[in-house]
A and B are shown apart, each in its own frame.
Chain A
Amino acid sequence: MIGWVLLGLFLLFFPYLHTWPAASSFLDSVDNTTGLGIGGTFGVFQMTTLGVWLVILTGLNILTGYSGQISLGHGAFVAAGAYITAILLDQTATPLVVAILAAAIGTAAIGFAIGIPSLRLTGPYLAIATLAIIVSMPQFLKWDKVSEWTKGSTGIDLPSADVPTFLGLDRFMDDSQWLYYSVMVPAVIMTVLAWNLTRSRIGRAFIALRDSEIGAQQMGVNVSLYKTLAFAISALYAGVGGGLFAYTQDFVSPDSFGIFQSIEFLVVIVIGGLASTLGSVLAAIFFVYQDGVVLRLAELIGFPERLRWAFFGVGLILIMIVAPNGVAGLVQRLKTLRPATVLEMLRQARPSAMISRLRNHPLAERLGLGRRDEHDPGDEES
């Protein structure tokens, strides 16, 4: 309980932390040693983008972590949300809240529509189909028929988000602080809603589908409905996240959402932890702050920054072996971990065992790289 209050207070006062000299110099010294980027106005902006990615990654985790459907093209939903918001803000006098709600509903509808043909595809085939969506998306945005709204390859420039003057808000906060709150409030609400949803009959039905489709069906879960529902909910989150993205960046273009970004989404939720709200939060933290930290590491040990993807790959493989349930799973395990278990794990650290754990990872399994085994990776919880 006290932890939640402290977290709430931290999130509430974070944008003002750097205006307080003592805290400010502390944040700056942290930045200088670790490269995190939490101090100054830049720190506030980074935290704001954390909110944006939190919404997006929470949505992807509902689709991939809970319902077990891999999407390599999640960026396309984000782009849809960002464009709906940007077009409404740019070409009409729609208020921000309405524009984002429109993005949420519009993107959820797109997600539902894409979810229906996806019912016929599973595992690697679904991954490839979603990859096709993200590959074709920039071309679609540049298409003559829609470029009147999307502004083709130039993209849409939005006026920068200024703190409104009503209620004298501008006397209490600057633009970066305003932006922070306009992202963090919906981000926290969406995270709490996801947390409720995933622990309800709906979330359990998603996991049931993932673990045993036939079992779920025979327990009364409408398989097609729930699979498309997972797509729709996940797309709704991507739509809201995309809307917030457009608002915070003041700019969207077809290049804002690439293939690598979508793959990165998938990688960070595996690192954070599939099927876990904490996992989504950790994934967002990782997504935002790893850049600075890796750059700093590169400086320290002197490897070229362009090896970042190699770092990513090795990190992913290690996490899949050491913590099949991601860092969130590791945190859960720490509570019950005993020295004897650690010793046992080290004793079993043979290459063959590692490869078999890699192949048993839910992600590998779903991409068709693994094998179905009597013992699934969840075993190691016990």
Chain B
Amino acid sequence: MSLLQIDNLSIHFGGLVALDGVSFEVEAGTIMGLIGPNGAGKTTVFNCITRVYHPNEGSIQFEGQELLRLPPHEIIRAGTARTFQNLELFSSMTVLENLLVGQHSSFHANPAEAAFSMPRSRAEERLGVERTNEILNFLRLEDYRDVMVSGLPFGTKKRVELARAMVSRPRLLLLDEPANGLSRGEVKVLIELVRSLRDQLGVTILLVEHHMGLVMAVSDRVTVLNFGRKIAEGTPSEVQRDPAVIEAYLGDTGA
């Protein structure tokens, strides 16, 4: 059984059909690329998985659990975490504080325990800082730990967001255009990074990306969407040869 199983997912906004019966599966320990021309519905799939949108039809099973039955803030507790196409960092906080919020769902101290600084609150706080240090070291961000996020360069912010997603120890990582706005050199580093996340931390990755170089280099399988429908799925080389994909990207509606 697959880690993530998306079945017949459909959503429309008024008369616009954004997703039309999309189905695909992501096997545990693999990297799945989700591509398609602008407006194909890639980010919409993401927003359905993370419950930002509520699909009209379909099911999203993660480890056998139906995600569509959970409220949005429970999705991370199920074992997934995401980054955003346009950063959604907490800009008035430091990197450390951002990563502590990333662990919000792992901890349980209630307001009274927090206000009286009771043992559970303090223990969780210590554990949170420890886990933050680990992931910051892994992503080579340790120098920025106590820096205010708002002052960081764009590329670093993107890595901080990745760290914030990873610190909750997800089994499925959803990356929404991680290469967006990065330089050529930074993309090279990102390719290594995405691989190492899977190889060393064992996380399964679903990747939405425009940058073909990145997708083809890291993905085990690629799913292609166009106008809200799945038009192809396979290994990177299979997909690149697929006539439907070539038409979607080069035909009169694409590119």
Q: Which residues of A contact B (CB under 8 A)?
A: 193-194, 196-197, 200-205, 207-208, 210-212, 214-223, 229, 233, 275, 375-376, 378-379, 381-382
Contacts and interface: CB of A to CB of B under 8 A. Distances in A.
Interface in B18-74: 50, 52, 71-74
Contacts of B101: 201, 204-205, 208, 216, 219, 221
B75 interface: yes
B109 interface: yes
User: Could you say which of B50, B72, B125 has the most chain A C-beta atoms within 10 Å of its C-beta?
Assistant: B72
Contacts of A210: 92
A233 to B, nearest CB: 7
B151 A194 contact: no
Given A194-B115, A200-B109, A221-B104, A207 B90 contact: yes
B104 A219 contact: yes
Shortest Cβ-Cβ A-B pairs, 9 listed: A220-B105, A382-B151, A215-B88, A200-B114, A211-B90, A193-B115, A378-B92, A197-B115, A220-B76
Contact of A379 (B93, B102, B151): B151
A367 B50 CA distance: 30
Interface residues of B, number: 41
Contacts of B71: 222
Contacts of A381: 148, 150-151
B84 interface: yes
Interface SS of A by simple majority:
helix
Contacts of B164: 219
A214 B88 contact: yes
Contacts of A378: 91-92, 148, 150
A207 B104 CA distance: 13
B82 A201 contact: no
Contacts of B227: none
Given A201-B109, A215-B88, A207 B93 contact: yes
10 contacts: A200-B125, A201-B104, A201-B114, A201-B128, A207-B92, A210-B92, A216-B101, A218-B88, A378-B92, A382-B148
User: Could you say which of B73, B77, B125 has the most chain A C-beta atoms within 10 Å of its C-beta?
Assistant: B73
B100 A201 contact: yes
Contact of B107 (A194, A201, A212): A201
Given A219-B104, A220-B77, A193 B92 contact: no
B97 interface: yes
Given A219-B101, A219-B164, A203 B114 contact: yes
A382 to B, nearest CB: 3
Contacts of A214: 52, 84, 88
A200 B75 CA distance: 22
B148 A193 contact: no
A366 B255 CA distance: 40
A215 B125 contact: no
Contacts of A220: 73-74, 76-77, 104-105, 168
Contacts of B75: 218
Contact of A375 (B73, B114, B150): B150
Contacts of A201: 100-101, 104, 107, 109, 114, 121, 124-125, 128
Contacts of B74: 220
A221 B103 CA distance: 10
B124 to A, nearest CB: 7
A211 B92 contact: yes
B207 to A, nearest CB: 17
Contacts of B251: none
Contacts of B121: 200-201
B88 A212 contact: yes
Contacts of B97: 204, 207
A174 to B, nearest CB: 33
B48 to A, nearest CB: 13
B117 interface: yes
B170 to A, nearest CB: 11
A217 B104 CA distance: 10
A202 B73 contact: no
Given A212-B89, A215-B89, A378-B92, A205 B104 contact: yes
Contacts of B109: 200-202
